Amino acid sequence: MEASHTLVPSSKGSVQSDIFSGLTVALALVPEAVAFSFVAGVSPIVGLYGAFMMCLITSVLGGRPGMISGATGAMAVVMVNLVLEGNAMGAEGAHLGLQYLFFTLLLVGVFQALAGIFKLGKFIRMVPRSVMMGFVNGLAIVIFLSQLKMFKVNGEWMHGPSLWTMVALVALTMGLLFAVPRIHKKAPGALIAIIAVSVLVIFSNIETATVLSFIQSNGGTGIKAGLPTFALPQVPFTWETVAFVTPYALILAAIGLIESLMTLTLIDELTDTHGNGNRECLAQGFANFVNGLFGGMGGCAMIGQSIINITSGGRGRLSGITAGMALLFFILFTSAYIEMVPIAALVGVMFIVVIKTFAWSTFNIVNKIPKCDVLVIVLVTFLTVQYDLAVAVICGVIISALIFAWENALRIRARKIVDEHGIKHYQIYGPLFFGSTTLFMSKFDVKNDPQEVIIDFEESRIMDQSAIEIINKVAEMYQRAGKTIHLWHLSKDCVRLIKKAEKICVVNVLADPDYFVSIDNYHKFREEI
């Protein structure tokens, strides 16, 4: 299968590249963090604190250098109901929803850390390639649609001169992003484009949406704030509180880990390197736990910002550390300047991310891969756009597994031979498991078979309890017909599996005279009969 993305050179990068790419990412994090905080129904400062802490902690401790974490839309949409229900549980005007969010993040951190401790990160290997392609295509579309919202003012689409100005600045940013790397390969294209467009807008007095106007249009006042401070969540520490937040914590932990591990896998492919999924689970958990104690909204890995970082030359942990520290610096000291950055410049950068994220090879391979894989790609893409990443990936994996099970169920075959002694041999081929038991059962002709029958599993495997029970059922059928059945060439692990099932099924390998398990050769069997 063709690769879905063009590999980015897998060099370790440089300090200069990491710093410049980190600064670019920090600028791109501002409107994203602000937007997602409004989605979750919390203050923009809470979103910015969350982005800063997630980015810094996961960059230092995470399992994927170069990957960027922050406040994300996938988690924000779950936080909406949590905050609303939390507000309803407190006194009117108390706004306890935010405090319940912080308490929930403590549990999210614990659950995610446990996933790392128990090494559950390895299960990302179970995600098929078709699901991965649907995931990146869906996320590219989601990022694109989220940027279209920047072309609205007070909920209405721009029109006239304001629209054309916005389009022209976006196009200029994208043009610079394509041109700069061709002039100088190591130049920070995204950062240069943002600064150039910002300077043009400021000194030419061009009227267009800026970071400040975007925040104000959503009910905020700005991004200036002090350092985050330590505080335990101010909620009643009761079983009622735990029962209320635990379901939300489990959902948020699952969404965060799925998105982070999927992003990690994508960055692995882009750079032809390998990250550590279990370490990333631990880092994500610790970062969310700290968010709960220091007033951030939490989050997970961000595919858009991660690709900005990688394509801008960021490879090491320094790129993420720079992004996190720069974001904090913006909040503390340079908020007035960051608020002047035109939204069009950031939209242009994100449109380039969309182009680099989408798996364009999907169109080339659609006629070269099984139709079932095409179906999975389309379904996961649709579900990612329509619902969220977790739902899309889980459904994609389940459907892929069912397709795999169905295809393997059809592979069970039986070659039938009657030897010179009048003994009928059923030579079984293919895996015997829950999906193939019905077809396996149809292979036997108990009524017309001779008095002695051998079922040879040399080319087959007994996979689960359903297989054991169907073997038991076949044996009972021959037993009721007064015929003898022998099981041949069961592997040692299959024999152990049947022995373990003695309490739940009739099969008894050692004691029952109606069963014979051979792991040796045919002559040994003939000597015993």
**Domain total of the chain:** 2
Same domain, 293 and 219: yes
- What is the amino acid identity at position 73? G
- If asked whether residues 388 and 434 sit together in one domain, one would say no
Nearest to 466 by CA among 491, 433, 490: 433
* Same structural domain, 398 and 425: no
Contact of 372 with 403, CB cutoff 8 Å: yes
- Alpha-carbon distance of 449 to 437, in angstroms, equals 20
| Distance set, CA 241 to CA 78, 107, 235, 294 (Å) | 17, 12, 8, 20
Tell me how far apart the alpha carbons of residues 523 and 471 are, in angstroms, rounded to a whole number.
24
515 and 426 in a single domain? The answer is yes
* pLDDT score, position 523: 43
Question: Of 377, 402, 427, which residue is a domain's last?
Answer: 402
Contact between residue 266 and residue 136 where contact means Cβ atoms under 8 Å apart: yes
Supply the pLDDT for residue 496.
Answer: 67
In a domain, 170, yes or no: no
Q: 395 with 420, same domain?
A: no
Using DSSP, state whether 457 is helix, strand or coil: strand
Instruction: Name the stretches of the chain with pLDDT < 70.
Output: 1-13, 93-94, 491, 493-494, 496-529
- 338 touches 27 (CB < 8 A): yes
Residue entry with tokens 């389009």: 167
| Long-range pairs for 189-192: beta carbons < 8 A, 24 or more residues apart | 189/312, 190/21, 190/24, 190/28, 190/308, 190/311, 190/312, 190/349, 190/352, 191/20, 191/21, 191/23, 191/24, 191/27, 191/312
Q: Quick check: is 342 in a domain?
A: no
pTM of the model: 0.78
Residue 520 CB partners (closer than 8 Å, separation 6+): none
Q: Which two tokens stand for residue 260?
A: 């982070």
Distances (CA, A) of 167 to 108, 164, 219, 282, 352: 40, 5, 25, 42, 14
Could you tell me if 509 and 498 are in contact, meaning their C-beta atoms sit under 8 angstroms apart? yes
Residues 255 and 76 sit within 8 Å (Cβ to Cβ): no
Are 83 and 97 in contact by the 8 Å Cβ rule? The answer is: yes
Q: Within this chain, do residues 224 and 262 fall inside the same structural domain, yes or no?
A: yes
3-state secondary structure of 513: coil
For residue 200, being part of any structural domain is answered with no
Q: 432 and 382 in one domain?
A: no
- First CA to last CA distance, the chain: 53
Q: Is residue 346 part of a domain?
A: no
Other CB atoms within 10 A of residue 179 CB: 12
Residue 441 inside a domain? The answer is yes
* The residue to which tokens 């988690």 are assigned: 75
CA distance 470 to 460: 14
Same domain, 485 and 393: no
Q: Give yes or no for a contact between 40 and 80, defined as CB atoms under 8 angstroms apart.
A: yes
Encode pLDDT of 378-393 as tens digits: 999 999 888 877 788 8
Question: Any idea which residue has 């935010």 for tokens?
Answer: 98
Query: Domain for residue 87, yes or no?
Result: yes
Can you give the CATH number for the domain in which 494 is found?
3.30.750.24
- Same domain for 282 and 326, yes or no, is yes
Return the HEC string of 223-289: CCCCCCCCCCCCCCCCHHHHHHHHHHHHHHHHHHHHHHHHHHHHHHHHHCCCCCHHHHHHHHHHHHH
Residue 74 near residue 389, CB atoms below 8 Å: yes
Q: Which helix (H) or strand (E) holds 64?
A: none
Domain range for 445 is: 413-528
Half-sphere exposure of 412 (CA within 13 A, CB side): 24
- Of 402, 424, 454, which marks where a domain is finished? 402
User: What 3-state DSSP class applies to 89?
Assistant: helix
For residue 233, give the nearest of 390, 135, 332, 95 by alpha carbon.
Answer: 95
Contact 475, 504 (CB under 8 A): no
| Residue 323 placed within a domain | yes
Same-domain check for residues 226 and 367 = yes
Domain boundary among 378, 402, 426: 402
- The pLDDT of residue 176 is 93
**Closest to 69 in 3D by CA, of 280, 365, 329:** 280
Judgement on whether residues 331 and 389 belong to the same structural domain of the protein: yes
> Are 48 and 84 within one domain?
yes
Token pair in block for residue 75: 């988690």
